[in-house]
Structure formats: structure tokens, C-alpha cells
Amino acid sequence: MPIHITGQPGDYAPVVLLPGDPNRATRIAARFDGGLEASRLVSEHRGLLGYTGTVNGVPVSVQTTMMGTPTTTIVIEELLMLGVTTFIRVGTTGGFGGLGIGDAVVALSAASLSGIGGVLGGGEPTAPTADYEVVQVLVEAARAEGLVTHVGPVVTSDVFYDPHPDGVARWGRRGYLCAEMETAAVYLLAMRERAKGRPVRAGSILTVSDVIVDPSIEHQATAIGDEAWFRPPEEEVTRRVDLTIGAAMQAAAALGRAG
């Protein structure tokens, strides 16, 4: 049984939203049917807040992962113990190239610039990939919310402040859409479970909260004043994230209803 999240069998819905931020988990629960008062707090140990409620009458849970792949893997492993089958990461990301603040990114795959790739891949190359149905539903929900939506590969990194001379921007030159810190772990664990014959699936929808500039591309640097990256005021980030959360909640309900 789990030792980090305190929920018990039956406490979590089959579909779980996975924000890193515990405050975001509470904000999501407040948008369940009937608000926060109608949702049930099922875990709070170590600040790993988890709630269960309904969205459009469909059972949905939300569980904090905190930042990075180590705690994310712990949380997902323990949710798997409790019977969860659909995982949707809901987070923020630094966008490359032509992405704008507030855009949504649905991750088809996530390169693992992270130790988790080697651990779960046995030291061999991995290709952390989303479930196609989850991707489809997330894209439809994001576009229905009016969000500018990008679909493609992302990179999951273990470091926020990348010491590489080019920073994380080098991944944008390779065709990746953005950088974040958890998606590869979510996908690798879901893939492992599917290989065992379990009906586990995963997706990730991200809000561009920062724009990462590639210093080798002049027009990018000029566009935002020669800064290496740009982030708007936090209240604006929160407003944009809340729009993506709405799409993620509708997608979770659709996936839960379909089973």
C-alpha cells in the first residue's frame, strides 16, 4: 500500500489530473461539481494534496506531484497501487520558437533529459509517448476552450536552471516545442503498465508560462528585448493556467465517461 499519499482503494477516481503545485490542486478541486465543499480531500501527507469529486457528473480526482520526476514517479506508482488508470499532467512549461504566453501544448512525446529515462529504460534509449486517445481528447478540449494549441514533442529536464552554454534553448532547434520537468516520467510509467496488459494511459497538457529565447536566432531575441527568457506577472500566468485547467477538466470527464 502507498506510504506517501494517504488515499485508500476507492478514494481515487480512475482518471486523475496531475498538477505539480498543491495550490493548483486545490484550485482544480474548487472547480469540481459543487465546489471545494463537495469534493473530498483524500491525501495531504507531505503536502501531496489529493481530492476526489465529479466533473459534469463524472468522477475525477486531482493529485499533486510536486516538481520533478522523482516525486512524480512516487505519486504515480502509488496511484497505480490504488487502481488509477488514466493520468493527465496539467502543468506549466517554457515554450520555444513561435509559442506565445498562454498557449497550450499537448505533448505527443517527451524526451527524457532526466535520470528517469535511464532508470526506467534500463540504461537504453527510451521514447516516452502519450496515449493517442488521451491526446485527441485533450486537443479537442483545448481548442473548444479557444486556446491556441500546439501538439508535438516536449523535453523533460531534471534542472530548471540549465548550466549548458545554450541553456535548454538548444532543444528548440531540434524541433521540440517546450521544456518542463515531469511528463517523461508520466509516460514511461504508463507505457510500462500497458506492456503488462493493464489499461493504463497518459497525456499531458501544458500552459506556456515562459518564453525561452534561443540566443542564436536574432529575431527571437529582438522580439522580447534580448532577454534569455520572458515571464509575465504571476497573476497573468495564473489566469492563463486556469484556462488550460478548464480544458483538462473537460477532457478528464470525457475520458472518464468513455471508460
User: Can you tell me the distance from the alpha carbon of 182 to that of 96, in angstroms, rounded to the nearest whole number?
Assistant: 17
Helices (H), ranges, the chain: 22-29, 69-81, 115-120, 132-144, 170-173, 183-195, 218-223, 234-258
Q: What are phi and psi of 161, to 5 degrees?
A: -100, 90
**Catalytic option among 11, 103, 131, 210:** 210
- Please give the torsion angle defined by the CA atoms of residues 207, 17, 254 and 242, in that order, rounded to the nearest 10 degrees: -40
Residue 103 annotated in active site? no
Q: Which three cell numbers stand for residue 209?
A: 508560462
Identify the three-state secondary structure at position 162. coil
Residue holding cell 535548454? 168
Identify the three-state secondary structure at position 25. helix
Residues labelled as active-site residues: 210
